[in-house]
Amino acid sequence: MADSPGDDRTLRGDATPLPDSEAHHINIADAEAQFNELERVLSIRSQQADSDRIEKPSKEGDLEAGERGEEPFDLRAYLSSSNDAHQKAGIAHKHVGVTWENLQVDVVGGIGHKIYVKTFGQDALGFWLYPFRLMHSALQTVVPALRPDLPLSTILHPSSGLVKPGEMCLVLGCPGSGCTTFLKAIANDRQDYARVAGDIRYAGIDAHEMAKYYKGEVVYNEEDDRHIATLTVAQTLNFALSLKTPGPKGRLPGMSRKEFDHTVRDTLLRMLNISHTANTYVGDEFVRGVSGGERKRVSIAEMMATRAHVLCFDNSTRGLDASTALDFIKAMRVMTDLLGQTTFATLYQAGESIYELFDKVIVLDKGRQVYFGPPSEARAYFEGLGFKSLPRQSTADYLTGCTDPNERQFAPGRSEADVPTTPEQLEQAFQQSRFAAQMREDLARYKQQMEIDKSDQEAFRKAVLSDKKRGVSKKSPYTLGFTGQVRALVVRQFQMRLQDRFQLVTSYSLSTILALVIGAAYYNLQPTSQGAFTRGSVIFAGLLTCALDTFGEMPVQMLGRPILRKQTSYALYRPAAVAIANTLSDIPFSAIRIFVYNIIIYFMSNLSRSAGGFFTYHLFIYMAFLTMQGFFRTFGVMCTNFDSAFRLAVFFIPNMILYAGYMIPVFQMKRWLFWIYYINPVAYAWVGCMENEFMRISFTCDGSSIVPRNPPGVNKYFNGLGPNQICTLFGAIPGQDIVSGRNYVNIGYGLNVSDLWRRNFLVLAGFFLLFQLTQVLLIEYFPQYGGGSAVTIFAPEDSDTKKRNARLQERKAARKGKSAEEAESQISEKEQGRFDGKPFTWEKVNYHVPVTGGVRRLLHDVYGYVKPGTMTALMGASGAGKTTCLDVLAQRKNIGVVSGTLLLDGKPLKLDFARKTAYAEQMDVHEGSSTVREAMRFSAYLRQPPEISKEEKDQYVEDMIEVLELQDLADALVASLGVEARKRLTIGVELASRPSLLFLDEPTSGLDGQSAWNLVRFLRKLADNGQAILCTIHQPSSLLIQSFDKLLLLERGGETVYFGDIGPDCYILREYFARHGAHCPPNVNPAEFMLDAIGAGLTPRIGDRDWKDHWLDSPEYQSVLEEIEKIKQNTSSDDGHQQQLTMYATPFWTQLRWVVHRNNLKLWRSPDYVFSRLFVHAFISLFVSLSFLQLGHSVRDLQYRVFGIFWATILPAIVMGQLEPMWILSRRIFIREASSRVYSPYAFAIGQLIGEMPYSLLCAVVYWVLMVYPMGFGDGTAGVGGTFFQLLVVIFVELFGVTLGQFIGAISPSMQVAPLFNPFIILVLGTFCGVTITYPTLPNYWHWLYQLTPYTRLMSAMISTELHGLSITCNPDEYIPFNPPDGQTCMEYAKEFIQGFGGYLNNPNATSNCFYCQYEVGDQFFLPLNIRYENRWRDVWILFAYAVFNIFATIVASRFLRYAKR
């Protein structure tokens, strides 16, 4: 990855004082002034970035070599000259004013309607009731009167307003107030909502017409950044531009498409100051790429590349620090003014300087419009309503605070009685205000003007038309035609695949390894009778492995949906273009991979060695691959989630395998099921390959195919095919030892080689085209985007939680009437003495990490302390080592070298330090299926000492829920919580352990200003109750920083700049900096100023001396050292008795109990996961049984019994595929909890296994019931007891699958890696277990693998139990006829043969036409295969031993392999 700077590289190079509070509307003159500043700053930035690049060469080569000598970027000159040139060329501008009247949005779900979590029990019941529900819905379709009215609730109440071209509107409101809904409605993004009412017009064009013809001109930039991780920033923008480049009429004369794209891309990169990231991957959680703030700017640039003129930004400054956010909004201001755009934005923690750049502000409260008007008059309006004036609070925070019941304060002498406080009252007050009257008047006038003067609308329509490329329909909302879209997508997909090296290497390696395994298993097959059936096997194995490899396409289709949704909403391309582009871009990669795969298998196994034979084989295998790829992609496009797609795919896969014509020839299939063969693409591919192979070869009849033949020690019969012997191969002609391959497949499988091209190839090609068509139609007309609006999901209450919730609500109601101060003091009294805080000191802390070519120091001689009852803020620039310092102090680092002295309560850190301290990490990682109460209880049960009773721990959790103000969400599932609630829960889970010391990493990131203030206020409350708190914080407001007692300020390199008191209004901090020449102006946030003063950004530091040197020479530094010594001397000494130290607070069995309890709840609440597994087990067993229904005692039925048993080997494959991702997700939570010593890795691994057991047992029993009874097992000597023995084997194989899946999960670093092991393991286990290649025919060098394979034990135990003592009676067509020599009876001639090889004669006394049956009893079938009935118990316990080995291996892997370096 390129060495890209951190997020502090912003557009702004200096500390800008807050603008004059009198200013409001921004006109062109203001924009000009801001241009001058931006121009100057960008020039400095460009030069500094260049010098930075020279100092720090990129790891990926000289990425920016071409840019270093360029002129400084002049934004004003560029946009102004561009405007002038466009006007001269007669290119119209798109000026689109937006009006909305009575805009209302409704969603499904009544008021107060709670959605409860679905459980396994409900899913299982729902499955049986599904046919009735289907009939009921069909009836409702026929009789509309029966259709119930869905309850709707309004989330955005009727609102009106207008924003003219060149204006910017800020949308404000607390979380859940409807800001995102408002933006989506304005952006015409309506699919998540049940109903959108009201009239929205864009330059007079209604919303329906806009969506149909001008979709890409109104765009919405969502809060989350969704990109393809393996594309670079430049490629991401090039792709968007390639689809939105205007046609010749929309570009300047003489400017090519390439020049246009290059110019716009460079402008966007420079404007957002991310030029240095152009050749860096965008990245995501798994792929290292640009930083979070840079990724946010990539999202903004991508949206700007669409050249839309109505822009809706949803919290687009998330992850940007205050100065970067300001510069982004300034750039938007510039573009809005000069290009006439219309901009809407919601922003979190918007400072005053950002707020004043907007022309209009709309304030929402619970979906109601409570203010719309000029930003400069909004504060005065709310003060006029009776709210208290809070001059230090930024206006944006003040406005949202007025709508928050917990935060608003009333003016002296005013109260809730005479101030509008409810959303309805506030809305009514606004409707009666002069601002509403002015808005209605402006709206009516503007609409009338739009009706009369249509120049803007006509110019807009003309501009859109001139943008289109030649040949694109005037009615199309796209700039580029369909073939152009496909071309651009193919290029993107090709780049993506080429750059995803890991996927390329693994897929090619895996494919080659699988081919080598198959080729080695069937090595050098000879054209003899022994090689006939095995040729069919190798073709089938090669085809099936290749075809089922495409199963992985389903999740890939689903993962790409959010990006597809975003880019189609930008009108970059039609969804159908993606389906076609995916296939085309995949062909170069898959063609080479399958070609290599086929060469290895074809020539290693000695299939017919001719060019025609190989290329025909390759064509059929590759066509089957493409067809099955289309088949699975169709499911991926069609289904809403992976589990439903998985169920549907499993409905087809067993049928495709069973009805390919290999296991059961078509003429022997059950009459009610044989039609499946004719709609099965795998069948046509296999038949084509079989016909291609066998039309080219003939076999020599020898060995076991001759009847009768010499047993060992007998020399009675002719060696070879004599006159009184017969060849048992299909298609053999009496007296001839050469069997034609054509006859073999014709008689044995009913295949006609002349069908190769005229039927099989054509039908396969037809299937390929059909699945391409289904993908195109489904993705275009029935898109499944998933996601949608977030809904809070609850767990049902039981009697205990019902009582506790009622008590919480009572206490909440009791607090409601009191002022905030009274309520706080009430909780403070209740919490007094709860926290056993202890002082924590650190001296001379240094931290070194290994880097390429040596070590790097990240922290240098850091000193400090935290006392009980105080809050210490840890601040610094990006890259100063804030999180690193916190990790080191909290003992969370597991790489690098830490030195220095860390003391808790004056004593060195002991074994129990990690569990006695709490660390709330920035990433809120929790078990998603637990409720808030359950998550906190889990922490309390396992982290508080065992001597504290369970009742006391439960009550403590209830108190914490109340303190955290999570009463309404106590039973909500963690996975469905919003950002703020989840952040509170993270803190609550840590507090539940009653820590001596609390560490927090960026607790306010991702929160709006109000939520951040609420959270810090809550931390202050904890500190006042005796908790010691150390907390990193990112760009706090001036109000927020004052809540802390002390500040530890770091500069780059981990050097200390200041450690000491902050003081009221930060006066102590300001005095320290002023003493050294940095005077903070009164209207500037001291937190931002001190970072600028020490040169944290790109601005030069104040003064010519390094601030760390100022600190080391200061009296404050000396007083810190003295204070640390004083703390060490005053701390409590040991009372004499030595307390036993333990790493974990609770004993192992307590840990296991609660881990298992949580795991059981998780699986019970994951019906898709558990029920999908049960459904798949039941369906496979049932469908296999239907194909082999009530088997008789013939030789063919004997073979089918073996095939029926062989299907049990697929169980581990099903279990592993589902279980591995679940395990890896659970491990992520374990890693976070293990760092706090909540429970041991042994408890985790064993708990995971125990949780799976009940469902595994259920799946095994269901599979067994649907296997043994429909097929008619248990007719042998073993009888009913043998049938129950089969149940034991199925349970053990299920256990083996679970433990193997967990072991692979434990050794895999990620969810992408784990599934790569599965095909190889399943193929090896299935190939070498003695069924597809029997033990006698297996090459000697593979015998060790046969003995090692667990499936050998599975097959031996099950086959010997089922076939032992089973009497065999041949069907008439199964007898092998031969004639004895003259004068001998059949028995006289064949006696030695039958004694040696078994079987019986149907007519022993006949002198001609002897009818020989190959087996008399089932044992004669399995004894030659190295299977013994008396070994069945040995075999089954060996299988169990494999499962036990997996368990131990998993536990060891869980202990040593965490894949969590920090």
Banded model confidence at residue 475, pLDDT cuts 50, 70, 90? confident
d(CA 166, CA 755): 70
Residue 796: burial class (beta carbons within 10 Å; 0-12, 13-18, 19+) = exposed
Alpha-carbon gap, residue 671 to 389, rounded angstroms: 85
Using a cut of 0.85, tell me whether the model's pTM lies above it: no
Q: What is the pLDDT of residue 576?
A: 92
CA 527/CA 400 separation, integer angstroms = 83
Is residue 243 scored above 90 in pLDDT? no
The residues, any chain, with a CB within 8 Å of residue 696's CB and separated by 6 or more, are 608, 610, 612, 613, 741
CA distance 350 to 911: 44
Q: How far apart are CA 1259 and CA 1170, in angstroms?
A: 9
CB atoms within 10 A of CB 324: 25
What would the pLDDT profile of 452-468 be if each residue is shown by its tens digit? Answer: 877 777 778 877 777 77
Distance CA 802, CA 88 (A): 73
Give the burial class of 542: count Cβ atoms within 10 A of its Cβ; 0-12 exposed, 13-18 middle, 19 or more buried: buried
The CA distance from 296 to 486, in Å, is: 27
Q: 16 pLDDT band (50/70/90 cuts)?
A: very low
Answer yes or no: is pLDDT of 628 > 90: yes
Q: Distance from first CA to last CA of the chain, Å, rounded? A: 19
- What is the predicted pLDDT for the residue at 1006? 64
For 312-328, what is the HEC assignment?
Answer: EEECCCCCCCHHHHHHH
Residue 43: pLDDT over 50? no
Name which of 274, 279, 280 is nearest 300 in CA terms.
Answer: 274
**Residue 778 CB coordination number (10 Å):** 21
* pLDDT score, position 929: 87
d(CA 234, CA 125): 52
- How far is Cα 416 from Cα 1134, in angstroms, rounded to an integer? 55
Which ranges in 1308-1418 belong to alpha helices (H)?
Answer: 1314-1327, 1343-1348, 1350-1363, 1386-1397
Q: Please check the confidence at residue 638 and state whether its pLDDT lies above 90.
A: no
Beta-sheet pairing, 1046-1051 with 1055-1061? antiparallel
pLDDT per position as a tens digit, 289-316: 777 677 888 888 888 888 888 999 988 7
CA angle 1011, 1014, 1020 (to 5 degrees): 145
Among residues of the chain, what percentage have pLDDT more than 70? 88
Tokens of 37: 């500043």
* Contact (CB, 8 A) for 1430 and 1361: no
Please tell me the predicted confidence (pLDDT) of residue 825: 52
Question: What pLDDT score was predicted for residue 516?
Answer: 93
Note the pLDDT of residue 12.
30
Dump pLDDT digits (tens) for 1168-1218: 888 888 988 998 999 889 888 888 899 889 989 998 999 999 889 888 888
Q: Which tens digit of pLDDT belongs to each residue from 267-291?
A: 888 877 788 888 888 887 657 677 7
Rounded Cα–Cα distance for residues 1400 and 1386 (Å) = 11
**What are the E-state strand segments in 193-261?**
195-202, 205-206, 218-221
Residue 1402 phi, psi (nearest 5): -75, -30
Residue 365: strand pairing partners: 368
Average of pLDDT values for 791-795? 82
Q: What are the tens digits of pLDDT across the range 847-865?
A: 988 877 788 888 888 899 9
The single residue listed with the structure tokens 């100057």 is 40
Residue predicted with more confidence, 172 or 216: 172
- Whether pLDDT at 631 is above 90: yes
Does 623 have pLDDT greater than 90?
A: yes
Average of per-residue pLDDT across 923-928: 80
Q: What is the pLDDT of residues 563-610, one digit of tens each?
A: 888 888 888 899 999 999 999 999 999 999 999 999 999 999 999 999
Compute the CA torsion angle 674, 679, 684, 687 (nearest 10 deg): 0
Whether the Cβ atoms of residue 170 and residue 313 lie closer than 8 Å to each other: no
DSSP string, 1227-1248: HHHHHHHHTTTSS-HHHHHHHH
**Mean pLDDT over residues 408-435, rounded?**
89
CB 63 within 8 A of CB 232: no
Tokens of 1261: 């029993």
Q: Above 60 in pLDDT, residue 1097?
A: no
Structure tokens at 1152: 């296991």
What is the rounded distance in angstroms from the CA atom of residue 179 to the CA atom of residue 364?
7
Whether 999 shows a pLDDT value over 60: the answer reads yes
Distance between CA 315 and CA 350 in Å, rounded?
10
Express each pLDDT in 534-562 by its tens digit.
Answer: 899 999 999 999 888 888 777 777 777 88
Between 35 and 302, where is the model more confident?
Answer: 302
- Asked whether the predicted pLDDT for residue 89 surpasses 80, the reply is no
More confident residue, 211 or 85: 211
559: which strand partners? none
Q: Order of strands across the sheet with 1376-1378? A: 1376-1378, 1410-1413, 1400-1401
Tokens for 945, please give them: 């000492």
Parallel, antiparallel, or unpaired for β 854-866 and 840-851?
A: antiparallel
Query: What six digits make up the tokens of 633?
Result: 């992609």
Question: What is the CB neighbour count within 10 angstroms for residue 377?
Answer: 15
Q: Which residue has the tokens 């069907």?
A: 1371
Q: How far is Cα 771 from Cα 784, in angstroms, rounded to an integer?
A: 17
Looking at residue 790, what is its pLDDT?
Answer: 59
CA of 498: how far to CAs of 288, 552, 590, 940, 1311, in Å? 17, 18, 12, 49, 21
- Residue 559: CB partners within 8 Å, gap ≥ 6? none
**CA–CA distance, 407 with 394 (Å, rounded to integer):** 14
* Greater pLDDT, 1260 or 464: 1260
Structure confidence at residue 787 (pLDDT): 52
How confident is residue 1008, by pLDDT bands cut at 50, 70 and 90? low
What angle is formed at CA 269 by the lines to CA 266 and CA 275, rounded to 5 degrees?
95
Strand-pairing partners, residue 104, are 197
Asked whether residue 1134 carries a pLDDT value surpassing 80, the answer given is no
- pLDDT for the residue numbered 1287: 94
Dihedral of CA 1372/1378/1379/1381: which sign?
Answer: negative
| Residue 79, pLDDT score | 55
Range 416-425 average pLDDT: 89
3-state SS, residue 1406:
coil
What number of CA atoms fall less than 13 Å from residue 461's CA on the CB side? 12
Q: Is 161 exposed, middle or buried (0-12, 13-18, 19+ CB in 10 A)?
A: buried
pLDDT band at 400 (very low <50, low <70, confident <90, very high): confident
Please give the radius of gyration of the chain, using alpha carbons only, rounded to the nearest integer.
Answer: 37
What strands, in cross-sheet order, belong to the sheet with 342-346? Answer: 218-221, 310-314, 342-346, 168-172, 360-365, 368-373
Reported as a single tens digit per residue, the pLDDT across 667-695 is: 888 888 888 889 999 999 999 999 999 99
Tell whether the model's pLDDT for residue 17 goes beyond 70: no
Tell me the torsion sign for CA atoms 250, 251, 254, 255.
negative
Dihedral of the alpha carbons of 560, 562, 563, 568, in degrees to the nearest 10: 120
For residues 505 and 795, what is the distance between their CA atoms, to the nearest angstrom? 44
pLDDT at site 682: 94
Is the pLDDT reported for residue 528 higher than 90? no
Peptide bond into 708 cis (omega under 30): yes
As a whole number, the mean pLDDT across the chain is 82
Query: For residue range 108-162, what is the model confidence (pLDDT) as tens digits?
Result: 765 566 788 888 888 888 888 888 888 888 887 788 777 777 778 888 999 999 9
Q: 648 exposed, middle or buried (CB, 10 Å; 0-12, 13-18, 19+)?
A: middle
1131 DSSP 8-state letter: S
